[in-house]
Amino acid sequence: MIKIRDLEKIYRTEEVETVALNKISIDVKEGEFVAIMGPSGCGKSTLLNILGLLDDPDNGSFLFNNIEVANFNERKRADLRKHNIGFVFQSFNLIDELTVFENVELPLIYTGVKSGDRKKRVEEVLDKMQIMHRRNHYPQQLSGGQQQRVAVARAVVNNPKLILADEPTGNLDSSNGNEVMTLLTDLNEQGTTIIMVTHSEHDARYSHRIIRMLDGQTVLENIMV
Amino acid sequence: MLKNYFKIAFRNLWRHRVFSFINIMGLTVGMTACLLIFLYVRFELSYDTFHPKADRIYRMVTDLKTPSETIHPSGPAWAVGPHLQFDLPEVEAFTRVNYDNLLVRKGDIKFNETGTIWADSAFFSIFNFPLLKGDVRTALVQPFSIVLSETAAKKYFGKQDPMGQTLLVTGEGKPALVTGVMKDMPENTLIKSDVVMSITTITQKFWKGLDDEWGSYGALTYVLLKPGTYAQTLQKKLPAFLEKWNGKEMRSSQMFPTLLLEPLKDVYLKSTRDDSKGNMMNVYVFSIIALFILVIACINFINLTTARASERAKEVGIRKVAGAVRSQLARQFIGESVIICLIAFLLTLGFSSLLLSSFNQLAGKIISTGIFSNISLLFLLLGIALIIGLLAGIYPAFILSAFKPIMVLKGRFATGAKGSILRKSLVITQFAISTALIIGTIIVYSQMKFMRSRDLGFNKDQVLVVETNGDNKRETLQKLVANLPNVKSTTLSGSVPGGGHQGAYSQVENAKGDLQIANLDLYFVDFDYIPLYDIKMAAGRPFDRTYKTDSNNAMILNEAAVKILGYSSPAQAIGRRFKQWGHEGQIIGVIKDFNYHSLQSPIKPLTMRMEWDRFRLLSVKVNPTNVQTTITAIEKLFRTTIPNRPFSYYFMDEFFDRQYRSEERFGRLFLNFAALAIFISCLGLLGLASYSTMQRTREIGIRKVMGASVSNIINLLSKEFLKLVIISFFIAAPVAWYFMNKWLLDFAYRTSISWWIFAAAGTLAVLIALLTISLQAFKAAIANPVKSLRTE
């Protein structure tokens, strides 16, 4: 599903040049659950952003479902993104002005799903995430675990092939964290590819494979048994 | 999607109520000011444009060149109109419009109809003043035909049909036949009147032969050109026309007129003649002010929106991650600003409706009866509101939609230096405009004060002027009034300072000994006029009862007249000859110049003579105590002596000052709009200051922990904005100086623009800004640092 080769990303300020990704190559197959680990600043979030088509690489190749996307413009990237990729963030990133229902509905709006269908699908996914009873609440009224469940609901509502999770349990206590990890595992079992950046060895154990990064490069891959 | 945008927009507005309030309030106040100014400007531009034939109607005015100067009488000679049609095929019709005060009576109902129009029979076919009753073509043909407005008709006849009834007009009570009732003339015409009488009443009854009189000026003449005719074609033929009819007389009298055509639509604002009441300059000034206010309001909007951009950044990131593209986000943000503008627009309609009547009062006329009376205007305004929303929204939308989602979602977001430079320049713009308006206001007011307090060269205090309309019992009245206990002295005259007067073809001996021809202003006065008004003599003596020749053969000049005659001192003019309107004799005295017009115009050459039958005004110098009793006593005497006329009087000082009414209105409007501009600017500053304070909460906390005092903090937060206000002052001062200097040039006598005006305006701007900022700064400074450090 994902095939990147010799991918480079360099951040430049006036005085400093930081190499975030240094000719990195990774493959991810459809249906895999991959965890990316490494110390702060090793480039894992940059990698995730490029995989999520939120950022573009400076050099190298990125095949997404066998399509070269490294040189896509913003509109094309947005188009590909909204139909294929869901995101889960450490800090949930829900819009405070929208209710639970409306937050989850958002991706459907941008993919042009009709209002009736939207309602059905949002309700389905809220039900699945067991957060239906909170549909009319605002994010501030929810606990962290509930917020992250809403964020996961939002990430999956479009039935994406790929979910990118950036430290999804980082802001949660252990029981809420486990709940979210179970949700992700369930999704993976139903066929969704998951790539997750994490600091937690515990969380990483939920994955099939761990990619360890250092200074913009992969240093080790562990296959989980 | 639209629903989602609306939802977000409204929830956002509600969540940030203070900012929303500032934004909406600023825009509302700005748009309200603009709407009112727009109505005013539109009204000023609408004068006499409602006549369907307006494009073909021209007003004929004249310049009159005498050997002494070129003067601008209010209209051409009386003979011009009637002779136009003989020679000039371009002219379809003409009417003279001559204003007069007319005493009109019906039984006990009597009014002095000021501004009565004497007009030719084509009056109602040229202008669009519809007749409700009567025939447009014949209503003004016969002498003593009178057409009344609906209001006037009701005044005299109540519910009766006025058609065919008679009214008594003039002091002699001549019967005039009502031949028409017209709809009340609209406010936006220069020709406005309630009573129109046939001019044949004058030309066939009172002054036969006036239609052939080429030497009597002042007959305002309007011509209607045939369709497809160019005014220039007619204009080119006018010198030959004058030469043919008037050539001989021009040369013998040495008075050379030229006829000029002014398009009717331009008369009100652009005519160079004194009687055009509008002022294009004011229209420009207020249009610019309106634009400024709008700009200030839009700046607030842009500043507050971009300043708060970081708060919206997360939302932008999430939306982008969820699949939104830039154009969709831009549309969303523009949509939000349009919503804010629409809310402001609705509030504007409410506010304007509430304020309209006071604005009418402020403007001194009914510029509009209601905001909702004109649907197309509403749509226009709605369009303008949408455009403002669009314009104010574009920049923030551009900035916000450009955020990179990974940056903002990671919280790696900082308001750029670029944005803050832009905000700073916009604040400078706002305060430059506001400060310039403060300077302008102070200058307008100090000019007003200058005009009111300047020594005019005569004393206008405690003088009451009674209008006798030249009634033949006026001298009897004068004698009776003079005997009243609180009356110090009285005088009869044809004119008083600040009022109308004659201009007379005169021949006066000059320094070389020749009889110099000039058109000179003429006051008819009696023996007591100069002492009562306390006018000072420069040479010779005032009129004196002991000299028998003074009543007929004596003239007094002012210093300005002495100057154009070439004398090096007033004394040299004494004893010289004069000829004027069939009288001749000697100059007996020279008075010092006094301002008998407003201070806009320089003092012109003036002559004074005595002619008893020209007297119409009785000036009464009264004791300041019990003035009301004195007035009642005078009124009682008037009613018994001159029972046929209405009693009307005025105080000289108020009468003279009414000439400054339009300046006063200008000043008041200026003051109000300047205050608004400052108010809106301060709203913006308040918003920015509170935002910047909010952003620096942590910094303030750290500084306080490190030992900063409250005043240190206030100082820290205020300095940043005060710097901007001070920069704006240095931009505003020269610009304001330049334009206000230009404005002052309109006044012959003017105050100087002194440094204290700038100092005052600058200080005021700084103080207002400081007050605005320090409210926020103080709140932040006294906050507990522990709390502010917890905001992280």
CATH number reported for the structural domain that contains residue A33 in this entry: 3.40.50.300
Chain B residues with CB-CB distance to A87 below 8 A: 321
Q: Using a CB cutoff of 8 Å and minimum separation of 24, what contacts does B515-518 make?
A: B515/B577, B515/B579, B516/B67, B516/B68, B516/B565, B516/B566, B517/B66, B517/B67, B517/B68, B517/B253, B517/B254, B517/B255, B518/B66, B518/B67, B518/B68, B518/B69, B518/B564, B518/B605
Same domain? B75 vs B215: yes
Residue A20 belongs to some domain of the structure: no
Residue B171 reports pLDDT greater than 90: no
Same domain? B576 vs B719: no
* pLDDT of the residue at B481: 96
Q: What distance in Å separates residue B330's CA from the closest CA in chain A?
A: 14
CB contact under 8 A, B406 and A111: no
Residue A101 belongs to some domain of the structure: yes
CB contact under 8 A, B4 and A45: no
Of A45, A78, A98, the CB nearest to B323: A78
What's phi and psi for A60, nearest 5 deg? 105, 180
Using an 8 Å Cβ cutoff, are B606 and B550 in contact?
no
CB contact under 8 A, B12 and A97: yes
CB contact under 8 A, A102 and B7: yes
What's phi and psi for A119, nearest 5 deg? -60, -45
- Top pLDDT among A67 and B690 is at A67
Among residues B595, B621, B644, the one where a domain terminates is B644
Chain A residues with CB-CB distance to B19 below 8 A: none
Please choose, from the candidates B38, B35, B22, the residue with its C-alpha nearest in 3D space to the C-alpha of residue B340. B22
Which residues are within 8 A (CB) of A173 and not within 5 positions of it... i.e. 6 or more apart?
A144, A145
Q: How far apart are CA B705 and CA B711, in angstroms?
A: 14
Residue B728 belongs to some domain of the structure: yes
Among residues B270, B302, B331, the one where a domain terminates is B270
Mean pLDDT, chain A, integer: 88
Residue A39 belongs to some domain of the structure: yes
CB contact under 8 A, A95 and B409: no
Helical axes B280-307 vs B326-363, angle rounded to 10°: 140
Which amino acid appears at position A84 of this protein?
A: N
What's phi and psi for B69, nearest 5 deg? -170, 180
DSSP labels for B208-234? TTGGG-SS----EEEEEEPTT--HHHH
What's phi and psi for B64, nearest 5 deg? -125, 115
Structure tokens at A48: 């995730």
pLDDT digits (tens, 9 = 90+) for B465-486: 999 988 889 999 999 999 999 9
Of B4, B321, B323, the CB nearest to A111: B323
Same domain? B497 vs B637: yes
Q: Summarize the confidence of residues B336-358 as an average pLDDT.
A: 89
Residue B650 belongs to some domain of the structure: no
Q: Summarize the confidence of residues B651-658 as an average pLDDT.
A: 90
pLDDT digits (tens, 9 = 90+) for A166-220: 889 888 888 888 988 998 999 999 999 999 999 899 999 999 999 999 988 888 7
Of B12, B323, B411, the CB nearest to A81: B323
Count Cα neighbours of B57 within 13 Å in the Cβ-side half-sphere. Answer: 23
* pLDDT of the residue at B307: 75
CB contact under 8 A, B1 and A78: no
Mode of pairing for the β-strands spanning B195-198 and A209-214: unpaired
CB contact under 8 A, A107 and B325: no
Q: Considering only residues 53 to 72 of chain A, which have any Cβ-Cβ distance to chain B shorter than 8 Å? A: 54-55
Q: How far apart are CA B149 and CA B134, in angstroms?
A: 12
Residue B133 belongs to some domain of the structure: yes
* pLDDT of the residue at B419: 66
Say if residue B398 is exposed, middle or buried (CB neighbours under 10 Å; 0-12, 13-18, 19+): middle
Smallest CA–CA distance from A115 into chain B, residue: B1
Q: Summarize the confidence of residues A125-135 as an average pLDDT.
A: 90
Q: Where are the beta strands (DSSP E) in B120-194?
A: 131-133, 145-149, 166-169, 174-182
Residue A154 reports pLDDT greater than 80: yes
User: Which of A49, A90, A94, A97 would best serve as a mutation to test chain B binding (most B beta carbons within 10 A)?
Assistant: A97
Q: How many C-beta atoms surround the C-beta of residue B250 within 10 A?
A: 18
User: Which of A88, A109, A163 would best serve as a mutation to test chain B binding (most B beta carbons within 10 A)?
Assistant: A109
Residue B790 reports pLDDT greater than 60: no
Among residues B385, B414, B443, the one where a domain terminates is B414
* pLDDT of the residue at B792: 38
* pLDDT of the residue at B392: 76
User: HEC string of chain A?
Assistant: CEEEEEEEEEEECCCCEEEEEEEEEEEECCCCEEEEECCCCCCHHHHHHHHCCCCCCCEEEEEECCEECCCCCHHHHHHHHHHHEEEEECCCCCCCCCCHHHHHHHHHHHCCCCHHHHHHHHHHHHHHCCCHHHCCCCHHHCCHHHHHHHHHHHHHCCCCCEEEEECCCCCCCHHHHHHHHHHHHHHHHCCCEEEEECCCHHHHCCCCEEEEEECCEEEEEEECC
Residues of B with CB under 8 A from a CB of A: 1, 4, 7-8, 11-12, 15, 314-315, 317-326, 328, 404-406, 409-411
Which amino acid appears at position B154 of this protein?
A: K
Residue B274 reports pLDDT greater than 70: no
Q: How far apart are CA B80 and CA B789, in angstroms?
A: 88
Chain A residues with CB-CB distance to B7 below 8 A: 97-98, 102
Block residue for tokens 């019990």: B626
Q: Does A163 touch chain B (CB under 8 A)?
A: no
Q: How many C-beta atoms surround the C-beta of residue B281 within 10 A?
A: 13
Block residue for tokens 């001996």: B509
Please choose, from the candidates B295, B289, B319, the residue with its C-alpha nearest in 3D space to the C-alpha of residue B408. B319
Between the two ends of chain B, the Cα-to-Cα distance in Å is: 34
Calculate the alpha carbon distances from A81 to A50, A69, A193, B312 in Å. Answer: 11, 11, 14, 22
Block residue for tokens 């501009």: B677
Q: Considering only residues 140 to 159 of chain A, which have any Cβ-Cβ distance to chain B shorter than 8 Å? A: 154
Residue B402 reports pLDDT greater than 90: no
pLDDT digits (tens, 9 = 90+) for A88-120: 888 888 887 788 998 898 888 888 888 899 999
Q: How far apart are CA B305 and CA B415, in angstroms?
A: 12
* pLDDT of the residue at B711: 80
Same domain? B593 vs B664: no
* pLDDT of the residue at B276: 61
Count Cα neighbours of B154 within 13 Å in the Cβ-side half-sphere. Answer: 6
Q: Does A119 touch chain B (CB under 8 A)?
A: no
Residue B12 belongs to some domain of the structure: yes
Q: What distance in Å separates residue B322's CA from the closest CA in chain A?
A: 5
- Least-confidence region, from B189-193, B595-599, B631-635, B677-681: B677-681
Q: Considering only residues 197 to 216 of chain A, which have any Cβ-Cβ distance to chain B shorter than 8 Å? A: none
Burial B469-496 (b: 16+ CB within 10 A, else e): bbbebbbebbebbeebebbeebbbbbbb
ipTM over 0.90: no
Q: How far apart are CA B507 and CA B520, in angstroms?
A: 9
Residue B440 belongs to some domain of the structure: yes
Same domain? B100 vs B188: yes
Q: Does A94 touch chain B (CB under 8 A)?
A: yes
Residue B416 reports pLDDT greater than 70: no
Same domain? B260 vs B315: no
Looking at chain B, how many residues does it have? 792
Residue B421 belongs to some domain of the structure: no
Same domain? B608 vs B672: no
Q: What is the domain count for chain B?
A: 4
* pLDDT of the residue at B365: 81
Chain A residues with CB-CB distance to B416 below 8 A: none
SS3 label, residue B276: coil
Residue B419 belongs to some domain of the structure: no
Same domain? B132 vs B243: yes
Of A98, A110, A154, the CB nearest to B324: A110
Smallest CA–CA distance from A78 into chain B, residue: B323
Please choose, from the candidates B41, B125, B769, the residue with its C-alpha nearest in 3D space to the C-alpha of residue B359. B41
Which residues are within 8 A (CB) of B298 and not within 5 positions of it... i.e. 6 or more apart?
B27, B30, B388, B391, B392
Grade residue A225 by pLDDT with cuts at 50, 70 and 90: low
Using an 8 Å Cβ cutoff, are B664 and B448 in contact?
yes
Burial B368-391 (b: 16+ CB within 10 A, else e): beebeeeeebeeebeebbeebbeb
Using an 8 Å Cβ cutoff, are B509 and B576 in contact?
yes
Q: Using a CB cutoff of 8 Å and minimum separation of 24, what contacts does B293-296 make?
A: B293/B30, B293/B33, B293/B34, B293/B37, B293/B673, B293/B676, B293/B677, B293/B680, B294/B30, B294/B31, B294/B34, B294/B388, B295/B429, B295/B433, B296/B26, B296/B30, B296/B429, B296/B430, B296/B433, B296/B434, B296/B677, B296/B680, B296/B681, B296/B684
Chain A residues with CB-CB distance to B11 below 8 A: 97-98
Mode of pairing for the β-strands spanning B109-119 and B195-198: parallel
Q: Does A45 touch chain B (CB under 8 A)?
A: yes
Residue B406 reports pLDDT greater than 80: no
Of A74, A89, A110, the CB nearest to B409: A89
Same domain? B94 vs B232: yes
Say if residue B130 is exposed, middle or buried (CB neighbours under 10 Å; 0-12, 13-18, 19+): exposed
Residue B420 reports pLDDT greater than 50: yes
Grade residue B1 by pLDDT with cuts at 50, 70 and 90: low
Percent of residues, chain B, with pLDDT higher than 70: 96
Q: Which residues pair with B131 in a beta bridge?
A: B182
Q: Summarize the confidence of residues B331-339 as an average pLDDT.
A: 85
- Top pLDDT among A158 and B559 is at B559
Instruction: Supply the range of the domain harboring residue A174.
Output: 28-55+72-221
Q: Please list the alpha-helical segments (H only) found in B308-416.
A: 309-321, 326-363, 375-401, 405-409
C-alpha dihedral, A20 to A25 to A30 to A33, nearest 10°: -50
Q: For residue B464, what is the enclosing H or E element? A: strand B463-467
Using an 8 Å Cβ cutoff, are B309 and B317 in contact?
no
Instruction: Supply the range of the domain harboring residue B119.
Output: 54-270
Percent of residues, chain B, with pLDDT higher than 90: 44
Chain B residues with CB-CB distance to A79 below 8 A: 323
Residue B324 reports pLDDT greater than 90: no
Grade residue B19 by pLDDT with cuts at 50, 70 and 90: confident
Residue B789 reports pLDDT greater than 70: no
Please choose, from the candidates B69, B67, B75, B77, the residue with its C-alpha nearest in 3D space to the C-alpha of residue B273. B75
Q: What is the domain count for chain A?
A: 1
Same domain? B406 vs B433: no
Same domain? B634 vs B767: no
* pLDDT of the residue at B526: 95
* pLDDT of the residue at B8: 76
User: Which of A110, A115, A136, A147 would best serve as a mutation to test chain B binding (most B beta carbons within 10 A)?
Assistant: A110
CB contact under 8 A, A54 and B8: no
Mean pLDDT, chain B, integer: 88
- Least-confidence region, from A151-165, B247-261, B398-412: B398-412
Residue B351 reports pLDDT greater than 50: yes
* pLDDT of the residue at B183: 95
Percent of residues, chain A, with pLDDT higher than 70: 100
Of B315, B328, B405, the CB nearest to A95: B315
CA B662 to the chain's CA centroid: 4
Please choose, from the candidates A147, A135, A128, the residue with its C-alpha nearest in 3D space to the C-alpha of residue A90. A147
pLDDT digits (tens, 9 = 90+) for B721-744: 889 989 999 999 999 999 999 889
Q: What distance in Å separates residue B301's CA from the closest CA in chain A?
A: 21
Q: Number of Cβ pairs closer than 8 Å across A and B?
A: 68
Q: Summarize the confidence of residues B638-652 as an average pLDDT.
A: 90
Structure tokens at A189: 């079992």
CB contact under 8 A, A54 and B323: no
Residue B372 reports pLDDT greater than 70: yes
Of B11, B319, B409, the CB nearest to A106: B319
Structure tokens at B225: 């050109």
Smallest CA–CA distance from B13 into chain A, residue: A97
Same domain? B98 vs B226: yes
CB contact under 8 A, B323 and A82: yes
Positive or negative torsion for Cα B526, B527, B530, B531: negative
Structure tokens at B139: 């209503």
Grade residue B421 by pLDDT with cuts at 50, 70 and 90: confident
Structure tokens at B56: 């073909």
Residue B290 reports pLDDT greater than 50: yes
* pLDDT of the residue at B791: 45
Residue B422 belongs to some domain of the structure: no
User: Which of B3, B4, B318 would best serve as a mutation to test chain A binding (most A beta carbons within 10 A)?
Assistant: B318
Q: What distance in Å separates residue A87's CA from the closest CA in chain B?
A: 7
Q: Does A80 touch chain B (CB under 8 A)?
A: no
Q: What distance in Å separates residue B781's CA from the closest CA in chain A?
A: 29
Q: Does A111 touch chain B (CB under 8 A)?
A: yes
Chain B residues with CB-CB distance to A93 below 8 A: 314, 317-318, 321, 409
